[in-house]
Chain A
Amino acid sequence: MLLDGETFRVFAAVLAVLTVASLTGFILSRKASGGPAHATIENLNARIKSWWVMVGALAAAFAFGKTGLIVLFALCSFMALREFLTIAPTHRGDHGALFAAFFAVLPIQYYLIGIEWYGLFSIFIPVYAFLLLPALSILRGDTENFMERISETQWGLMTCVFCLSHVPALVTLDIPGYSGRQILLVAFLIIVVQGSDVLQYMWGKLYGAHKIAPNVSPSKTVEGLVGGAVSATLLGAALYGITPFTSLQAAGMAGVIVLMGFVGGLVMSAIKRDRGVKDWGEIIQGHGGMLDRMDSLVFSAPVFFHLIRYWFTV
């Protein structure tokens, strides 16, 4: 299976941007050897290098269509949940619940998306996992910090599995006049979310002066947010050709995605702060953990999914 024409053109454009980024990074590192900006440029280059790997993984998944995306995002969920629960102070008594979270709830959620059972995948974790997992935890009789433990496990499942699974779920949406092209909605979402992160980072590094939330995320600035949000919204509008939206609708969708992504970044940073860690993990060089890269996507994917489902499906 190869990428078809439209998907291929999207990836070709992304690869062109990455090539320009890599060349720029290379020139910057030649110019600034040893200077104070050196560490920032080193990190920038590590980030760009990791982008090549991430885009490669996405291209491979896209080539296998819905199944490819489900497998890829199930793996991402696994790694994200592992990062989340690593810093959540569960007890020995939660062993069974944790095991069920990883090896029952996670695969079932993605299986339900695979068979396109919307009625169940949209409530499976919020209702059934929510009600049953605490029962597994209490079987061992340990009540110390019980509410904290069950809440954290549920929060991990909601963010890392439930929310994230809405990315491949986009492919299941039945949109008149758009059948067979839904996979491009995934491309649209990821390009806007990650584009917004990159653009906010760039605007912030170039013009950032006023911090928005110094206690939560010291690198976020007003200039970065406004510049990044506006340019990412324009980017979304420009991509309307691969969506079922008009250019105005595409801009609106991108605006919502960017806003939710910003909220996601802040909330997930606050959790890291609470636990006293800087990054969720080290799996993606230069970026940190899986959740450091996915936090915006986690918050924007379900909202994007439901906006389309409400207004664009039959």
Chain B
Amino acid sequence: MIEFAGSVVAKLIAGFARAVTGVRARWLGCAPEPKQRIYFANHASHGDFVLIWTALPPPLRAMTRPIAGKDYWDADEMRRFIGRHVFNSVLINRNVTSRRENPLGPIEQALSQGYSLILFPEGTRNTGSEPLLPFKPGLFHLARSFPNVELVPVWIDNIGRVLPKGEVIPVPLLCSVTFGHPIRYEAGEAKPAFLLRAQSALLNTSPDKERRHAA
């Protein structure tokens, strides 16, 4: 019953996101295939993973789980329902002082089960003028432990203006979600080098780059 309610709410949320943002998916670097992937994206708004999730075709949506902070999504009954039954999120403990187990544990478990993931390697929402914050190391560890999973950079354009941090009501502006060329961990690659490479792969996916070239 709660599963059914979850799937209905999921459809409503996707429909609403589409109506407000007219979101369009641009598969430039890869095709929408049911491969196991980690989609890593820039993070500017709470609307981010809703948008990626809406942009994915339904069969891919069903096998893709967003990674989200347990502290936020466990805070009340409503969020627990949305986090678990609507988006089927993988909840992780971001609280450094209290964590005893491996914080990546639930993520590794989901990957072992064959799920694709949506991950925001900046760790927090970017509200500054820099296009990207430095990446947290989690992506590196996952890439090294699961070398067969494709890492797909995903640039989300404009959602930060639709629903900026601290705002509750979205304004309708067009958004796009661009899927770039997948990258993989190369054997022996050092952490900082890998994270920089991942970051520039994501920046290269941004349509701002095309616009600058066109202008």
Contact = CB atoms under 8 A, between A and B. Distances in A.
B22 A281 contact: yes
B164 A95 contact: yes
Contacts of A98: 171, 173
B214 A276 contact: yes
B167 interface: yes
A161 to B, nearest CB: 13
Given A99-B169, A277-B211, A278-B214, A90 B174 contact: no
A99 B171 contact: yes
B212 interface: yes
Interface in B123-165: 127, 158, 161, 164
B22 A82 contact: yes
A189 to B, nearest CB: 27
Contact of B173 (A86, A275, A278): A86
A281 B173 CA distance: 11
A148 interface: no
B22 A283 contact: yes
Interface of B is mostly: loop
Nearest to A276: B215
A282 B158 contact: no
B211 A86 contact: no
Contacts of B215: 275-276
A92 interface: yes
Interface magnitude class on chain A: 10 to 19
Interface string B196-215: 00000000000000011011
Nearest to B169: A99
B70 interface: no
Nearest to B24: A282
A110 interface: no
A83 B161 contact: no
A299 interface: no
Contacts of A277: 211, 214
B182 interface: no
B172 A78 contact: yes
A87 B62 CA distance: 33
A83 B22 CA distance: 10
A85 B164 contact: no
Contacts, number: 38
A216 to B, nearest CB: 14
Contacts of B214: 276-278
Nearest to B158: A86
Interface-centre pick from A86, A99, A277 (highest chain B CB count, 10 A): A86
Given A86-B158, A282-B24, A95 B171 contact: yes
B172 A102 contact: yes
A99 B167 CA distance: 11
A144 to B, nearest CB: 10
A85 B162 CA distance: 11
Contacts of B172: 78, 82, 102
A102 B161 CA distance: 14
A80 to B, nearest CB: 11
Contacts of A90: 161
A281 B174 contact: yes
Given A86-B174, A99-B169, A283-B22, A276 B212 contact: yes
A31 B11 CA distance: 44
A99 B60 CA distance: 33
A99 B162 CA distance: 10
Interface in A57-90: 78-79, 82-83, 85-86, 90
A92 B164 contact: yes
Interface string B18-59: 000010100000000000000000000000000000000000
Contacts of A278: 214
B13 to A, nearest CB: 19
Contact of A276 (B24, B173, B211): B211
Could you say which of B164, B169, B172, B212 has the most chain A C-beta atoms within 10 Å of its C-beta? B172
B210 to A, nearest CB: 9
A62 B151 CA distance: 51
The 10 closest A-B pairs by CB, nearest first: A276-B215, A86-B174, A98-B171, A276-B211, A92-B164, A86-B173, A276-B214, A82-B172, A99-B171, A95-B167
Given A95-B171, A98-B173, A277-B214, 5 more contacts: A82-B22, A82-B173, A82-B174, A92-B161, A275-B215
5 contacts: A82-B22, A82-B172, A275-B211, A277-B214, A281-B22
Interface of B: 22, 24, 127, 158, 161, 164, 167, 169, 171-174, 211-212, 214-215
